[in-house]
C-alpha cells in the first residue's frame, strides 16, 4: 500500500494515481495541476476521428469487385456505428455536401439515387477517383489491391496401377489359395499348427 501523501488525483479524468504516474500541466507547465500520463498524451496529440471513415473503408473494399452499391440508411448506421443526422433523412442536399461527402468522393464513389421515402441511397463508382488523379500528378503509382484471390485448385487424379503390380498381386493371391488347398482337411475345430510354431516348439537335438 502506498502512503496517502504519495497519491494524487488527475485534474482531467478524476482518477487517482501515484506521483510517478503524474506529470504537470503540459500546456502551461503549471506544477500545481497534475495529469495522468494517459490524459497528458491525449492533450499533446488528440485523436481526430471521423465517424464516416468506416464507410470509406467499406466503399474502398467494394470498389474492387463492383461498380454499384445500394445501401439503406439503417445499413449505413451499422457501418459507421452511429446514427445519421436527421438532415440525411429529410433532404437530398445533405448527400451532396462536401463537408462529409469526402467519405465517398475521395475513394471514387458518388450518390446517383437518393430515395428518402424508402430510406436508401445508391452509390456508383466513378471512372477515376479524385485521390488517384492527385497521386498521378505527384508521380505516385499506388494501385488499389484486389481482395483475397484464392489459389488455383489442384485436381488430383487417381493413377491407374501398372500391369506389373496387378500381376504380382494376382500371383500372391494364387499362392495363398494353393497354400490353403494344400493343407489337410481335418474334422472338428482342430487346426494344424503353422510351420513357424512347429519350428519354435521342435525339441532341440542333443
> How do residues 50-109 score in pLDDT, each as one tens digit?
788 888 889 888 888 888 999 999 898 888 888 888 888 888 888 876 678 888 888 888
| 120: confidence class by pLDDT, cuts 50, 70, 90 | very high
> How do residues 23-41 score in pLDDT, each as one tens digit?
888 777 777 788 888 888 7
Rg (CA), the chain: 40
What is the SS3 string spanning the chain? CCCHHHEEECCCCCCEEEHHHEEECCCCCCCCCEEEHHHHHHHHCCCCCCCCHHHHHHHHHHCCCCCEEEEEHHHHHHHHCCCCCHHHHHCHHHHHCCCCCHHHHCCCEEEEEEECCCCEEEEEECCCCHHHHHHHHHCCCCCCCCCCCCCCCCCCCCCCCCHHHHHHHHHHHHHHHHHHHHCCCCCCCCCCCCHHHHHHHCCCCC
> How do residues 36-59 score in pLDDT, each as one tens digit?
888 887 777 655 567 888 888 898
Using the predicted structure, report yes or no on whether residue 148 has a pLDDT greater than 80.
Answer: no
Which residues fall within 8 angstroms of residue 4, CB to CB, at 6 or more apart? Answer: none
| 18: confidence class by pLDDT, cuts 50, 70, 90 | confident
Using the predicted structure, report yes or no on whether residue 13 has a pLDDT greater than 60.
Answer: yes
- Full-prediction pTM beyond 0.75? no
Segments making up each domain of the chain, as ranges = 7-44, 53-138
Amino acid at each position: 500500500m502506498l502512503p496517502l501523501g504519495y497519491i494524487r488525483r488527475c485534474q482531467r479524468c478524476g482518477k487517482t494515481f501515484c506521483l510517478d504516474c503524474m506529470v504537470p500541466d503540459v500546456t502551461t507547465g503549471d506544477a500545481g495541476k497534475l495529469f495522468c500520463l494517459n490524459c497528458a498524451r491525449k492533450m499533446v496529440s488528440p485523436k481526430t476521428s471521423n465517424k464516416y471513415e468506416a464507410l470509406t473503408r467499406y466503399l474502398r473494399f467494394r470498389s474492387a469487385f463492383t461498380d454499384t452499391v445500394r445501401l439503406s440508411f439503417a445499413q449505413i448506421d451499422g457501418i459507421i456505428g452511429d446514427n445519421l443526422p436527421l438532415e440525411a433523412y429529410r433532404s437530398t442536399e445533405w448527400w451532396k455536401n462536401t463537408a462529409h461527402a469526402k467519405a465517398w468522393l475521395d475513394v471514387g464513389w458518388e450518390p446517383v439515387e437518393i430515395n428518402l421515402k424508402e430510406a436508401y441511397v445508391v452509390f456508383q463508382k466513378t471512372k477515376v477517383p479524385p485521390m488517384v488523379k492527385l497521386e498521378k500528378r505527384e508521380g505516385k503509382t499506388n494501385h488499389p489491391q484486389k481482395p483475397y484471390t484464392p489459389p488455383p485448385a489442384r485436381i488430383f487424379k487417381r493413377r491407374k496401377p501398372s500391369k506389373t503390380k496387378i500381376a504380382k498381386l494376382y500371383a500372391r493371391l494364387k499362392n495363398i489359395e494353393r497354400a490353403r488347398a494344400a493343407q489337410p482337411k481335418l474334422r472338428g475345430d482342430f487346426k494344424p499348427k503353422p510351420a513357424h510354431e512347429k519350428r519354435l516348439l521342435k525339441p532341440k537335438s542333443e
